[in-house]
């Protein structure tokens, strides 16, 4: 069997409403040299049957059915069975434009190719860039300077694993996998592990990945203990990357911490028991006030702003909507 250039891994869980759109956009790619792995993570709706139907239509598709274990375990099963030179992750409720793979694969001399994404029907901002950005991890000081730059589009590229090309040889050589302990923001930890082993990466100036806000992560966003655990896990992963980049990662760490906290606000409306949620956010806020002031060096005024927002989550949610509307 001829090895495909790209393996696309799509974890599937109860997305019958969006799955046809996702798979259809992948099969319509102008770049054809890929295999598609659909990982049914114990769906209770018709998602599994939809996956099986597509196997009969296209020989490039393989389907795996497993017990429900979460998106990380589903992606890991895909990695275990991937045959392509490159790995690409796409979420099953998202879709991609027709030249998505064609644009990514032209940069196959790099170890990581990052495409932008644009949110649909949600508050997420666009990560489209005006020009390509190359980061050379063989020059740690220079790479750290770029990552420490106060550029949200640069930092946000490391929040998610979808819409990128990863070298399968690097993933296989270092046995890289998603951490199944993570229930949200698991993408960032995988990326941190991967970045430790790369030379050059490119953040491209095209944006052909379409992101749809999922309701699945919302059940984790209201769990204080879950978020505290994530902070602890991030410390371990980031300490490895800080060592590679000579301890110049303070701004990246600061933004990742903030991104975890922001999960509370993004999924606020999906939380049923708001009073419990508010208590948990306040507890989380109290625990990390010292971190904001001292360890993360936010500054007194900005720290008080964060404390105010997370003390009054509804206020924070509405402020985010107002700010994002102005950005558009």
| CB-count burial class (<10 Å; 0-12, 13-18, 19+) for 257 | buried
Tokens of 82: 């991937």
Q: Confidence band (pLDDT; 50, 70, 90) for 5?
A: very high
Per DSSP, the three-state class of 135 is strand
Residues paired with 65 in a beta bridge: 40
Q: What is the pLDDT of residues 311-327, one digit of tens each?
A: 555 555 555 556 555 54
Q: Confidence band (pLDDT; 50, 70, 90) for 42?
A: very high
Q: What is the pLDDT of residues 154-188, one digit of tens each?
A: 666 777 899 999 999 999 999 999 988 876 667 87
What is the residue-wise DSSP string for 93-127?
Answer: T-EE-TTHHHHHHTTTTSSEEEEEEEEESSSPPP-
Residue 65 has pLDDT above 80, yes or no: yes
Q: What is the pLDDT of residues 231-272, one digit of tens each?
A: 555 565 556 555 555 544 555 555 555 555 555 444 444 444
Residues paired with 8 in a beta bridge: 36, 88
Region 69-73 average pLDDT: 94
Flag whether the pTM goes above 0.85. no
Contact 123, 324 (CB under 8 A): yes
Region 196-211 average pLDDT: 90
Instruction: Say how far apart CA 7 and CA 188 lie, in whole Å.
Output: 20
Instruction: Say how far apart CA 312 and CA 293 lie, in whole Å.
Output: 19
Q: Confidence band (pLDDT; 50, 70, 90) for 211?
A: confident
Tell me the domains of the chain and their CATH numbers: 6-213 (3.90.550.10), 224-326 (no CATH)
Tally the residues of the chain. 328
Instruction: Say how far apart CA 251 and CA 158 lie, in whole Å.
Output: 13
Region 9-30 average pLDDT: 97
| CB-count burial class (<10 Å; 0-12, 13-18, 19+) for 293 | middle
Region 267-293 average pLDDT: 49
Tokens of 261: 């906290």
What 22-27 contacts at long range (C-beta under 8 Å, 24+ apart), as own/partner pairs, is: 22/90, 22/91, 22/92, 22/93, 22/94, 22/95, 23/50, 23/51, 23/54, 24/95, 25/95, 25/96, 25/97, 25/98, 25/100, 26/90, 26/96, 27/54, 27/58, 27/60
């Amino acid at each position: 069997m001829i090895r495909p250039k790209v393996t696309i891994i799509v974890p599937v869980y109860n997305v019958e409403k969006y799955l046809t759109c996702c798979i259809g956009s992948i099969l319509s790619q102008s770049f054809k040299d890929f295999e598609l792995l659909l990982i049914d993570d114990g769906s209770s709706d018709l998602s599994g049957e939809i996956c099986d139907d597509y196997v009969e239509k296209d020989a490039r598709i393989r389907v795996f059915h497993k017990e429900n274990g979460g998106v990380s375990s589903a992606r890991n099963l895909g990695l275990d069975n991937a045959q392509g030179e490159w790995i690409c992750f796409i979420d099953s409720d998202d879709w991609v434009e027709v030249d998505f793979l064609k644009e990514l694969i032209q940069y196959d001399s790099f170890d990581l190719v990052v495409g932008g994404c644009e949110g649909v029907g949600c508050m997420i901002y666009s990560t489209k860039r005006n020009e390509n950005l190359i980061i050379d991890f063989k020059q740690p000081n220079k790479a750290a300077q770029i990552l420490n730059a106060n550029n949200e589009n640069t930092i946000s590229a490391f929040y998610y694993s979808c819409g990128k090309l990863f070298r399968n040889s690097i993933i296989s050589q270092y046995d890289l996998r998603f951490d199944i302990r993570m229930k949200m923001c698991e993408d960032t930890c995988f990326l941190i592990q991967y970045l430790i082993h790369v030379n050059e990466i490119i953040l491209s100036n095209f944006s052909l990945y379409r992101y749809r806000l999922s309701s699945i992560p919302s059940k984790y966003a209201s769990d204080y203990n879950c978020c505290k655990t994530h902070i602890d896990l991030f410390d371990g992963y980031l300490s490895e990357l800080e060592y590679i980049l000579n301890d110049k990662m303070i701004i990246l760490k600061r933004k990742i911490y903030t991104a975890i906290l922001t999960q509370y606000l993004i999924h606020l409306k999906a939380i049923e028991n708001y009073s419990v949620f508010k208590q948990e956010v306040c507890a989380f806020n109290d625990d990390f006030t010292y971190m904001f002031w001292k360890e993360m060096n936010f500054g007194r005024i900005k720290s008080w702003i964060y404390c105010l927002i997370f003390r009054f989550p509804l206020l924070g949610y509405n402020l985010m909507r107002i700010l994002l509307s102005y950005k558009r």
